[in-house]
Amino acid sequence: MPDTDPAIRVERLHRTFGGGRRRRETVALDHIDLTIPAGEVHGLLGPNGAGKTTLCKILSTVLLPTGGTATVDGHDVVRETAAVRRSVGIVFGGERGLYTRLTARANLEFWAALYGLRGRGLSQRVDALLERFGLTDRAHERVEGFSRGMKQRLHLARGLVGDPRVVLLDEPTTGMDPVAAHDFRDLVRELRAEGRTVLLTTHDMAEAEAVCDRVSLVDGGRILATERPATLGTWISRYASVEARDVPPSTVDELRALPGVRAVHHVPPDRIRVETGAEDAAPAVLRLLVDAGVGDVSTALPSLADVYLHVIGDRGMRVNK
Amino acid sequence: MSALAGFRFQLRELPHRPDHLLALVTAPLMTLVFLAITRHAGRADLAGHAVLAPALIALWQMALLVAGELVAAERENGSLEALVATPSSFAAVIIGRVAAVTLVSLLGFVEAWLAAWAVFGVVVTVAHPVVFAATVLVSALAMAGTAGLMSAVFVLTRSARTFQNSLSYPFYVLGGVIVPVSLLPDWLAAPSRAVFLSWSSDLLRDAVDASTVEGVLPRLGAIAGLGFLGLCAGLLALRRAVDRLRRTGTLGHA
Ligand SMILES: Nc1ncnc2c1ncn2[C@@H]1O[C@H](COP(=O)(O)OP(=O)(O)OP(=O)(O)O)[C@@H](O)[C@H]1O
Ligand SMILES: [Mg+2]
């Protein structure tokens, strides 16, 4: 297959659920288009119910689309499932999906066998993955005794056991502690360095910004925008907010007058929250507060909801029912 | 190859699942019950029947409770999607696993024989060992095929419990497990011939204590044929089950 094929190509992909006699039809994916070149780390950023998991499932052939087409490594996910399954590794977030009565090693050996590995090749692959994910010392323990983070690492190892060219990671960091989440970012960079294509779904803008080459913002089954992470970074700093306590009224007035300050809210009993809308506004707010002798000051990055609200505008953070 | 992977995995998991080995706990106990009854009735000649019945029940029970539930259990465990997403044939993996469960359930035969000997000092000899071994083998294969079908049906209907309840005792009757089919009323004897187990239990009893066994090959053929039908239906149903779950998006549902 020519290398010019994009790793993932999605055209007018559509998926609905329900719509039977009594139940209302849910549009999980609404005719989306998306092309991801080989070797890219692509983020899917969106609120609950946006359709992220649905897309991952369709790309991994475990869910059939209602309409449109999707190809992975040039293979159609409906007609050429066998080829797609050889190319794709999938990691669904959460702790479920492991065989908890078996050891980590036995789990991986089973999956490795299902990806066609045998004998020495199989044990080498399993050893390497256990090593890579820091599970070598616990390889012979039953998974039921594993911590959540260890289970997640085992999930990641499982997803890579078939040496996939395309890796789908559906919220792999939910429940990871900051250190693990940090390691995860290194992992994604390694995957890219190995030439794999990664599709990563997340709610976490900082995560998306840190590891992705491009990020698609999804909501209500549609792709609202596909951006470079730098753009996300701009949004993040632009829509930061500052909180402070015991701010004199005169200072509040000064804050309101600062360029780039969108709003100053009172947070009972004695705090205020300053919302900004320009890149240099948050530092200016901080300076002004410090100059006014206000001691108790903190900044907060905008949530995904904030960014959606401001960037996408009126659509806001509607959870797709 | 996929089937082999499934087979080995299942053999590895079973020892860690005491809940899945329940049938093997009850088999020797049931042997003692049946033997006690036949002895009390002064029918020492029925000892062979008394040890065969629990062994066959173990075979059927493990197929029903463990093998039949495999796919539903994968779904509950949240691993069904990942299984389907591998390049291996899902149906083959399941059949391999079902076969492993069936193989282990054959321990029921060993247990029944040992229990009779250990507790009552009864040694049940097998008059036609080759016929016996062949019947056990072909029956196990038929059981594996049939269990594959069960596993697909259970997951499609999402009511394994109902099926398990209604498929146990009625099939011990229809399968001639405890009472030979020839002793059933005619209207029951006819449908029982569609159940491979009825051929198996008759042939095994003959192999144990008949002076001559007639029509071995056609009878083995009947078991194999019915088992093969079950296997084909099972493979087809497994494939359809997965397709349906992919269509409805319920592979991941617990
Ligand atoms: N099997 C299903 N049956 C019915 N509705 C479904 C099914 N799977 C998904 N949906 C619906 O499709 C929509 C998109 O769901 P999806 O799981 O893709 O969202 P998501 O972006 O992954 O959300 P989250 O961030 O919560 O994981 C939701 O409205 C959801 O309720
Ligand atoms: Mg999701």
- pLDDT of A3 reads 53
Chain A contact present for B8, CB below 8 A? yes
> Residue A193 and residue A18: Cα distance in Å, rounded?
41
| Segment A193-218 mean pLDDT | 90
pLDDT in tens, B76-89: 899 999 999 999 99
Contacts of A94 in chain B (CB under 8 A): 78
Query: What predicted TM-score, i.e. pTM, was given to this entire model?
Result: 0.86
| Segment A130-153 mean pLDDT | 92
Nearest atom, ligand 1, residue A44 CA: 21
pLDDT in tens, A35-72: 999 999 999 998 889 999 999 999 999 999 999 999 99
Instruction: Identify the band that residue B131 occupies on the pLDDT scale cut at 50, 70 and 90.
Output: very high
In this structure, how many other beta carbons lie within 10 angstroms of the beta carbon of residue B165? 12
Chain B contact present for A97, CB below 8 A? yes
> Residue A162 and residue B70: Cα distance in Å, rounded?
23
pLDDT(A11) > 50: yes
| Segment B130-158 mean pLDDT | 89
- pLDDT of A79 reads 95
| Segment A279-303 mean pLDDT | 83
pLDDT(B254) > 70: no
Choice among A188-192, A235-239, A257-261, B215-219 with the minimum mean pLDDT: A235-239
Report ipTM (2 d.p.): 0.89
Chain B contact present for A311, CB below 8 A? no
Contacts of B212 (CB under 8 A, 6+ apart): none
Report CB contact under 8 Å: A114, B78: no
% chain B with pLDDT above 70: 98
Closest Cα in chain B, distance from residue A213 (Å): 26
Joined tokens for residue A57: 């499932």
Which amino acid residue places its CA nearest to atom 22 of ligand 1? A53
Q: Ligand 2 centroid to B125 CA: how many Å?
A: 61
Nearest atom, ligand 1, residue A47 CA: 25
DSSP state of A1: -
pLDDT(A8) > 90: yes
Nearest atom, ligand 1, residue A53 CA: 22
pLDDT(A4) > 80: no
pLDDT(A252) > 60: yes
Choice among A8-22, A173-187, B58-72, B201-215 with the minimum mean pLDDT: A173-187
Which amino acid residue places its CA nearest to atom 5 of ligand 1? A17
- pLDDT of A311 reads 67
Report CB contact under 8 Å: A85, B86: yes
Of B13, B81, B87, the CB nearest to A62: B81
pLDDT in tens, B205-233: 999 988 888 888 999 999 999 999 989 99
The nearest alpha carbon in chain A to B82 belongs to A90
DSSP state of A301: P
% chain A with pLDDT above 90: 52
Which amino acid residue places its CA nearest to atom 2 of ligand 1? B249
> Residue A40 and residue A285: Cα distance in Å, rounded?
38
A240 Cβ below 6 A of ligand 1? no
Nearest atom, ligand 1, residue A63 CA: 1
Q: Which range marks the domain in which residue B53 is found?
A: 2-253
The nearest alpha carbon in chain A to B7 belongs to A110
- pLDDT of A270 reads 85
Ranges of each domain in chain A:
8-229, 237-301
Q: Was domain A237-301 assigned CATH 1.10.150.120?
A: no
Contacts of B19 in chain A (CB under 8 A): none
- pLDDT of A315 reads 45
Instruction: Identify the band that residue A28 occupies on the pLDDT scale cut at 50, 70 and 90.
Output: very high
DSSP string, A184-249: HHHHHHHHHHTT-EEEEEES-HHHHHHH-SEEEEEETTEEEEEE-HHHHHHHHHHT-EEEEES--H
Contacts of B77 in chain A (CB under 8 A): 96-99
Q: Which of A45, A53, A200, A204 to mutate to test the pocket of ligand 1 (most atoms within 8 A of CB)?
A: A53
% chain B with pLDDT above 90: 47
Chain A contact present for B185, CB below 8 A? no
Chain B contact present for A99, CB below 8 A? yes
- In Å, how far from its chain's centre is CA B103? 9
- pLDDT of A313 reads 59
- pLDDT of A318 reads 42
Closest Cα in chain B, distance from residue A6 (Å): 21
DSSP state of A308: I
Report CB contact under 8 Å: A90, B84: no
Instruction: Give domain A8-229's CATH superfamily.
Output: P-loop containing nucleotide triphosphate hydrolases (3.40.50.300)
Chain B contact present for A260, CB below 8 A? no
For chain B, the domain total comes to: 1
Bridge partners of residue A71, in order along the sequence: A9, A76
pLDDT in tens, A87-129: 999 998 777 899 999 999 999 999 999 999 999 999 999 999 9
